[in-house]
Amino acid sequence: MQIIRYTPRQLTTEDHHHLQRLEIVVERAIADGKVTKYEIEEIKSQMYSHREIAVYELELVSDRVLVPIQSGELEWEWEWD
């Protein structure tokens, strides 16, 4: 996996569109206050959809999903198959 660092001025139109799509997926996943493994898989799928994960994508998921889970603001719903 390649991680590419962008500064805000380096984001292309395509990058902005990809980030908007990722934000939609993340917002839908956290809307009910719980995140399931299927929602995490959907987020990961969106992140990997263009074969590169940029720092701004990692920051978005960290800020909106991972940190709130760690602080208890968001619930991680475990589902055992």
Q: What is the pLDDT of residues 20-44, one digit of tens each?
A: 999 999 999 999 999 999 999 999 9
Residue-level pLDDT at 4: 65
Q: 35: number of CA atoms within 13 Å, CB side?
A: 25
Q: Is the pLDDT of residue 55 over 70?
A: yes
Residue-level pLDDT at 16: 87
C-alpha 26/C-alpha 21 separation (Å) is: 9
Give me the helix-helix angle, 37-48 and 13-30, nearest 10°.
180
Task: Record the pTM.
Answer: 0.82
Residue-level pLDDT at 1: 63
Domain chopping of the chain, boundaries = 3-72
Average of per-residue pLDDT across 50-57: 84
Beta strands in 6-74 (DSSP E): 34-36, 53-54
